[in-house]
Structure 1
């Protein structure tokens, strides 16, 4: 049987301690990679800059009757128009970050450049770096409380290295209204279970941004002939005499799962992005930036949900 893919560190799939050690060994290099990616996209990262309460100058704009902003007489003296000086909104926002630690995330096919776990952690750490540089509060459910720090990504990385076993699905009930959360996972659980887990966020008025991390082999099902499949969660095995006979039905179910989850996110005003492990992680960050800064802000903007495929840079369906 030809091997198309395998779980990275197979012993770690059902051993919580082994998974923790594997994650700890990966995090330092992943933090370096996350910072490298951030440096490639930071020029286009505008945060949530808009008019509001703050100390820093934002813009001059023409005065309109009833305007509550003070007239800037120095600027107005330069021509025949009256201008007001706006300041930049500086209220810090809280963004929660989470990367799925499930055993299925350890999978890496021969066509992928990294495992799903590595990609999810890189995306989460890169977001931590970007948000920290922007002065936002960040947090990791079940690991840290919200905090603001220029070295936010480094602090979260340190926590991940010493966390040991992490819950497959953390308690999200403590995340409150007007926060955002970024969730990187393969979302291979039944859609109903995923919706039930995330429903508390919708009820609390939290805006979620889901990044589905997908291995190319999981999507295309390139298997043929006698093939043995192993469940990374339970260790159960299935041997198919002619694996290619399962391909059409598998791809149909795989696509239906993704479409159902994406449609649900859109109805809630959440964003849904797909990032393949044989493509660039920076693609997902760009899509995430578009979703998070829609309407000039984060949660509570009322923006319709966005669905993006990171492999199609010009395609965003809103």
Structure 2
């Protein structure tokens, strides 16, 4: 049987292949950038370390009446007038799924941005893979890898991305298991009801999600005026505005309403939502994500009452 060549493939499939190859070419440099951020900015990362069952020392703290006397560290207590307990570090490994949007809208980069939305999303995803791998967590990418633990986790994910040029715009999230965390990096420009329908499986499986919205400053401020042609990167449809500035107020209202509605939905579920602009540092989003992953409310993977 004759092999179907690229020229015979549907236009959408050819475009997806081109985008995939461009993304694959970016990944090695983005992995280097992700590691640079991890090494120089987030030096204090310790995963979700906390008190619990384990072998490693965690901290000394004052003895509380009612605790077992066997837990008292008499050597430390002898140094002053207080009685101290030696806590150990909780060592249960946790699975964190990571996903970065690769749809056509992520290719956008205005003149005021430092990088494209796709570049920023991949850097953040690879940086999270690096941080989590270093702290002994299990990581996974839906539709790309199963959960695994490895010190070179980010490198393994990057290799898979390079050799997977046909990633779906939205992966099936049903494989994400109960009590896991998932980091989703996207522009989330789809109608909120579509995004909610896609993410609903995570809420039903009691997964804690962390959404990072990547925004180009021009998308948010709408700095256009005069006759301007706009093209939908997903469908190719075009809109020509004779005086683009007359659309600005309505556009900004709808743009922010979408974000506010999605963020409010996340808050109701106990999820985190943060925005990272492509004219700002990637590290800003990583710091906020670090705080969200380490936040109280999920103990040993279970939601607090």
- Tell me the TM-score normalized by structure 2: 0.91
Give, in angstroms, the shift of residue 47 of structure 1: 2.1
Q: How does 1:161-176 map to 2 (within 5 A)?
A: 161-176=162-177
Instruction: For residue 252 of structure 1, give the secondary structure of its aligned residue in structure 2.
Output: helix
Give, in angstroms, the shift of residue 208 of structure 1: 0.5
Residues 1:239 and 2:231 aligned together: no
Matched residue, 1:307: none
Specify whether residues 80 and 214 from structure 1 end up closer, same or farther in structure 2 by C-alpha distance, changes over 3 A only: closer
Q: How does 1:1-318 map to 2 (within 5 A)?
A: 15-68=15-68, 70-295=71-296, 299-302=301-304
> Which ranges of 4 or more aligned residues in structure 1 deviate by more than 6 Å?
11-14
Unaligned runs of 5+ in 2: 1-10
Over the aligned positions, Cα root-mean-square deviation in angstroms equals 2.0
Give, in angstroms, the shift of residue 80 of structure 1: 4.9
8 Å Cα contact 1:207/1:300 also seen in 2: no
8 Å Cα contact 1:50/1:296 also seen in 2: no
What is the aligned residue count?
A: 293
Give, in angstroms, the shift of residue 176 of structure 1: 1.7
Matched residue, 1:309: none
8 Å Cα contact 2:56/2:89 also seen in 1: yes
Deviations 1:154-179 (A, max 9, x none): 10000000012111111111112221
Instruction: For residue 213 of structure 1, give the secondary structure of its aligned residue in structure 2.
Output: strand
Specify whether residues 13 and 185 from structure 1 end up closer, same or farther in structure 2 by C-alpha distance, changes over 3 A only: farther
Give, in angstroms, the shift of residue 225 of structure 1: 1.0
Deviations 1:239-283 (A, max 9, x none): 111111111111110010000001111111111000011111001
Specify whether residues 220 and 64 from structure 1 end up closer, same or farther in structure 2 by C-alpha distance, changes over 3 A only: closer
8 Å Cα contact 2:224/2:245 also seen in 1: yes
Counterparts of 1:17 and 1:137, CA distance in 2: 30
